[in-house]
Amino acid sequence: MIKFILAALAVGIAAGYVNNNLASMIAGNWITSYLFNASLYLLLFVMGLSFGIDKEAVAKLKSTGLRVLIVPFLVALGSILGGLVGGLIFRLNIFSSMAVTAGYGWYTLAGPVLVQILGGEWGALGFATNFLRELLTIVTISSMVKVDKYAPVASGGATTMDTTLPVIVRYCGSDVLITAFSSGFVLSIIAPFTVIAFASLT
């Protein structure tokens, strides 16, 4: 399955590049905004559908309990610590590097916010780091799930409420859906605050 996903990603990147730079066949935003959003909404609907249809869903939800609150907190802590260690290794300003990883994979947020506060280079780093987080989560999911069923949820950060959610549910089972969505949801809410806060400390 992952082969098809990577192929779709590669074809998408190539098509986007060609369309943007060489031959503008269609207005790019038809795909980047309409197709992207339409498929995302449809997917969330279908994910919800398979959850609602599942007779054991409520029992699974009850077992989620504490996880819903603890998981995003630990992911935030781990991400920021990762930024601190990364900043020390690559000899970067540690507050800026913590701001980069405090985007939890939400690259369309972290990139622009960091451009605004810290300038273009940090914006590029913020964009690339968080984008790679999403990409690595998708690429490594089949081995990650062997470590722990919730490891891909931790890996995906804020992306587990949308882009990586379907892949996670497919690999980890539908009982992970609520934890994944709620963790991504909480992280998406706090991401703007944590990115801005750490960037301002620079």
Partner 1 sequence: MLYLIVPLVAGILSGYLLRGRKHINLNKVTFGIILVLIFSLGFTIGSNNELLTSLPKVGLSALGMSVLAIGFSVLFVVLIKRRLRI
Q: Which of residues 123-182 bind partner 1 (CB under 8 A)?
A: 124-125, 127-133, 136-138, 144, 147-148, 150-151, 153-155, 157, 161-163, 166-167, 170, 181
Indicate the Cα dihedral angle 146, 135, 60, 1, nearest 10°.
Answer: -70
Looking up tokens 């192929």 gives: 7
Q: Which of 23, 45, 56, 62 binds partner 1 (CB under 8 A)?
A: 45
Task: Please give the Cα distance from 135 to 156 (Å, whole number).
Answer: 9
- Neighbouring CB atoms inside 10 A of 65's CB total 10
Looking up tokens 């701001």 gives: 99
Nearer to partner 1, 11 or 201 (CB): 11
The answer to whether 108 touches 162, Cβ cutoff 8 Å, is no
Q: Which residues, numbered 59-98, are part of the site for partner 1 (CB under 8 A)?
A: 65-67, 70-71, 74-75, 77-79, 81-83, 85-86, 89-90, 92, 97
Quote the least distance from Cβ 158 to partner 1, whole Å: 11
Query: Can residue 189 be called a binding residue for partner 1 (CB under 8 A)?
Result: yes
- Neighbouring CB atoms inside 10 A of 191's CB total 23
Quote the least distance from Cβ 200 to partner 1, whole Å: 19
Query: How many of the chain's residues bind partner 1 (CB under 8 A)?
Result: 94
